[in-house]
């Protein structure tokens, strides 16, 4: 009986290696056939984008030639001057965006403050959960510090500082 156990201890790993080799080969074959389809899709997408780029370039070239084409001989010099002046388009002035609002450090939040005042001074919270009618749990975060607030009927009733 002991001999049979030794035989199986030697034979089973060899059979297992063979099985692993067969499974690896099957997986590699499946992967190579699957990637062939992706390669064809990539080529077709590239072809479509090349055609689009060519059409856009042709359209831009046509616009330039139309803009630089000479005026017909029947026009007078004054008419040509007027059309040239009207063709000039000045860029629209876009007002600069206002800077983002700056808010105070949430460490300044205190018990008894109104929720509206907290949002106005410290900005919108990172998380706001309604836990009961008229009751919220609000979280403000700054770097490594988190401030958990309990707001009841629009007033801060508890402030918990975590970290920092």
Render pLDDT for 78-111 as a digit per residue (tens, 0 to 9). 544 555 555 566 777 888 899 988 999 999 999 9
Listed in sequence order, the residues at least 6 apart from 71 whose beta carbon sits closer than 8 Å to its beta carbon are 79, 80, 83
φ/ψ of residue 34, rounded to 5: -70, -35
Q: What is the total residue count of the chain?
A: 164
Q: According to DSSP H, which parts of 88-131 are helical?
A: 115-122
User: Token pair for residue 41?
Assistant: 């899709």
Instruction: Give residue limits of the domains in the chain.
Output: 1-70, 106-163
- Tens digit of pLDDT for each residue in 25-71? 666 666 656 555 666 676 777 777 788 778 777 766 655 555 555 55
Compute the CA torsion angle 24, 29, 31, 34 (nearest 10 deg). -160
Topology given in CATH for the domain delimited by 106-163: Beta-lactamase Inhibitory Protein; Chain:B, domain 1 (3.30.1450)
The whole model's pTM is what?
A: 0.42
Question: Mean of the pLDDT values across residues 2-19?
Answer: 59
Measured between alpha carbons, how far is residue 63 from residues 68, 86, 89, 121 in Å? 9, 17, 15, 53
Q: Return d(Cα 91, Cα 115) in angstroms, integer.
A: 45
């Amino acid at each position: 009986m002991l001999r049979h156990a030794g035989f199986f201890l030697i034979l089973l790993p060899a059979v297992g290696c063979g099985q692993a080799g067969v499974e690896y080969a099957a997986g590699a074959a499946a992967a190579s056939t699957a990637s062939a389809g992706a390669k064809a899709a990539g080529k077709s997408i590239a072809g479509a984008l090349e055609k689009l780029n060519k059409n856009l370039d042709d359209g831009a070239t046509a616009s330039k030639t139309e803009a630089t084409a000479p005026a017909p001989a029947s026009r007078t010099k004054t008419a040509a001057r007027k059309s040239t002046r009207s063709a000039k388009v000045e860029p629209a002035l876009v007002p600069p965006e206002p800077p983002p609002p700056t808010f105070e450090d949430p460490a300044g939040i205190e018990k008894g403050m109104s929720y509206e005042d907290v949002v106005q001074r410290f900005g919108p919270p990172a998380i706001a959960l309604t836990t009961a009618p008229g009751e919220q749990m609000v979280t403000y975060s700054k770097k490594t510090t988190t401030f958990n607030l309990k707001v009841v009927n629009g007033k801060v009733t508890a402030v918990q500082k975590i970290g920092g």
